[in-house]
Structures are given as C-alpha cells and as structure tokens.
C-alpha cells in the first residue's frame, strides 16, 4: 500500500477522543493519555489533497499510541 500512496499528495490527521474511564486497571493504563490527562481513543484519517477520496481511516486505537504507528 505504501508504494501506491507515494504517488499522491495526502493529508494525514490524527486526533484523540475522550472516552469513559475503564473499570479494569489494565484497560485504564492502556487508554490513559498523559497529554490529554484523560482516557482517550485515537483515530486517524488519510485523504487525498483535493479532498475527493478518503484513503484510510483508523479508529478506536488506545489514546497514548503514537501517531506514526497508526499510519498504514
């Protein structure tokens, strides 16, 4: 997929969404974002520069996950 994507100019945007605090301690640690001081989901959208097509969407990843690790 990366070979095909290098032929286009893309817009990549990642964002965090606040979620309810998990009851389980392991889940709390997994979803706690120190940057947002909250429990979050991380999502990413990749679109073509002209906005005509959505190339990829990643949703619901743990909040503290690095943006670059979401990229396909």
Q: In order along the chain (72 residues), what is the average pLDDT of each group of 10 residues? A: 75 91 90 88 91 88 84 72
**Gap between the terminal Cα atoms of the chain:** 8
Question: In the structure encoding, which two tokens stand for residue 45, read together?
Answer: 């959208």
Chain Cα centroid distance, residue 69: 9
In 3D space, the residue among 54, 52, 70 whose CA is nearest the CA of residue 62 turns out to be: 70
* pLDDT in the model for residue 17: 92
In the chain, the number of structural domains is 1
pTM of the model: 0.73
* pLDDT in the model for residue 2: 66
* pLDDT in the model for residue 1: 62
User: Residue 62 forms beta bridges with which residues?
Assistant: 41
Contact 43, 17 (CB under 8 A): yes
Domain that holds residue 22: 2-70
């Amino acid at each position: 997929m990366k070979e095909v994507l290098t032929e286009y100019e893309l817009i990549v945007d990642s964002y965090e969404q606040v979620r309810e605090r998990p009851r389980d301690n392991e889940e709390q640690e997994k979803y706690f974002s120190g940057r947002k001081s909250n429990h979050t989901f991380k999502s990413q959208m990749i679109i073509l520069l002209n906005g005509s097509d959505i190339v990829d969407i990643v949703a619901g990843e743990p909040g503290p996950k690095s943006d670059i690790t979401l990229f396909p």
